[in-house]
Amino acid sequence: MNLENISCQKSAGGWHKRYRHRSTVLGCDMVFAVYLPPQAEQGGKLPVLYWLSGLTCTDENFMQKAGAHKLAAELGMIIVAPDTSPRGADVPDDPDKAWDFGQGAGFYLNATQEPWARHYRMYDYVVQELPALIEANFPVSDKRGISGHSMGGHGALVCALRNPGRYQSLSAFAPISNPSNCPWGEKAFSRYLGDERSRWREWDACALLAEATEKLPILVDQGDRDDFLENQLKPDALKAAAQAAGHQLTLRLQPGYDHSYYFIASFIDDHLRHHAKALLS
């Protein structure tokens, strides 16, 4: 699979690079970003953290705004940030151009309904196709962590909970914790998956926690001034599901913080260290 390097910047002693490639799974060209710490040029393989961004975001938001490169360089951790959905003239979009559905809002699932099923398979892309590409072209080990924000936090939880053994660490910022029961999730799931709600459970972290055979410790940060806290994100539902399943969840409600990347930048070091504890052991 050919990679086209479209940008490259030195950062914290390492390199932030963006690549374009043709995705077989999604049927379109995709862009992803990778941060390679200085240790990547010294031989050997390094652990990798996959970061999934939220609604309307691209690969650029995290790499430019989170301030993660400095500690990742100290830890010797590669970070990979894919886009949030398939894109292109041939990829169907919301006919009303709504920001919370369609291009920019793939929800990290495999759509089953037309016209979305051909392209909207972000779950397969994140879990299988992209890691295979990364492992073939960059010095990464088989130690993988996954994290994300908002819709990407939902994606991180779902990818890890559905794939025991594939990831060694898991965290999220302000995840859409119970998408089957919030407006964003109900809109996306009904269109991507159909109206049968029983099919939604396999893409809902609260439902998956009840059936998880692997109990990775989960770190979640949530701002208490987040405009989406009660209506969309529902961290209390995640907490209740984790408690019922006996799953270790550290849920931190951070006073004064909202849904922005100021919030993420304030606590990203804690999350990198959480992942490093598992990935560098």
Just list the catalytic residues: 150, 226, 259
Write down the residue that tokens 């990203």 correspond to.
268
Residues whose CB falls within 8 Å of the CB of residue 182, separated by 6 or more in sequence, listed in order: 176, 231, 232, 233, 234
Give the number of residues written for the chain: 281
Instruction: Go through 144-169 and write b for each residue having 16 or more CB atoms within 10 A of its CB, e for each that does not.
Output: bbbbbbbbbbbbbbbbbbbeeeebbb
Angle among Cα 32, 191, 229 to the nearest 5 degrees reads: 70
| Runs of H (alpha helix) within the chain | 60-65, 69-75, 122-124, 130-137, 151-162, 183-192, 205-211, 235-245, 261-279
| Helix, strand or coil, per DSSP, at residue 240 | helix
Nearest 5°: phi and psi at 224? -85, -5
Residues whose CB falls within 8 Å of the CB of residue 159, separated by 6 or more in sequence, listed in order: 52, 108, 123, 126, 127, 146, 166, 167
| Residue 249: both structure tokens together | 């969840």
